[in-house]
Amino acid sequence: MANTRKIAVIGECMIELRPNITDAGYSTSTIDAQIGYGGDTLNVATYLARQGIAVDYVTMLGDDPLSDWMVEQWRGNGVSCDLVRREERGLPGMYRITDIALPSADDDRQLFNDDSNDAVIERLRSWGIREIVLKRGSEGSLVADDASVVHVPPVLVEDVVDTTAAGDSFNAGYLAARIRGASPEDAAKNGSKLAALVVQHRGAIIPRDAMPASS
C-alpha cells in the first residue's frame, strides 16, 4: 500500500554566503560570494523530500527577491511551500513540536546540565517522549524506547569535508526510514548512511545527483 502520510516541518531558514577567496584576498567593500541557504529544519525537510517523503515547510518569509529565490529552490527539491507565509518586511518565526526526540548529546548536555548520556535519555523519557535517538557524532547514536537503549555505530568516513547539516541529514534519513516502516534501529542506520554522505560535500545541501540511489 502506498504511504499517504505527510510531514510538516516548522522552523526557519538562513541565507549562506560563501566568499570566493583568492590568493589576493578580497576587498572589504565588495565580496565575490556564492549564495546558498540552510537551517536545521529546512535541511531536514529537503532531505526528506529527496527520499520521496511528502513534506510541507512551515515558515515565514518576506516579499524580497531572496525570499522568492528560496521558495523556488525549496520547491525544486520537492518541498511543498503551501504553508510558507509571506509578509512585507516580515521576520522569520520558529515553533517546535515533537514526539520523537533526535537530540545531539553535546548540545543537550550543555543546555540542560545533564551529567551523562543516560541522564539525557531519562530526562526526555520523563517528558513523555517514547522514541529517542541520541546523536553522538563519531561514537554513533543511542536509540532508546521505554525500556531499552541500543547503540548504533556510525558510518565511518575518511574524507570529511564539511560537517554542516550532518545532524540534520541524519534526522531526515531517520524519519524517512521510520515513515517507510523501518524499526528505530534500522532507521538510525539509514540516518548514519545519509549523514556520512553529506559530510563529504561542502555546504548544508549537497547536489541532488549526489544523493544515494536508494533514497
- What ranges make up the beta strands (E) of 89-197? 132-135, 141-144, 149-152
Could you tell me if 193 and 182 are in contact, meaning their C-beta atoms sit under 8 angstroms apart? no
Query: DSSP letter string over 24-59?
Result: TB--SS---EEEEEE-HHHHHHHHHHHTT--EEEEE
Specify the 3-state DSSP secondary structure of 88. Answer: coil
32 as an active site residue: the answer is no
Which amino acid appears at position 22 of this protein? T
Element containing residue 84 per DSSP (H, E): strand 84-86
What Rg value do the Cα atoms of the chain yield, rounded? 18
Measured between alpha carbons, how far is 179 from 196 in angstroms, rounded to an integer?
21
CA distances from 210 to 51, 109, 204, 205, 214 (A): 12, 33, 13, 10, 11
Which one is catalytic: 99, 159, 162, 168? 168
Q: Which three cell numbers stand for residue 20?
A: 570566493
Which residues are part of the catalytic machinery? 168
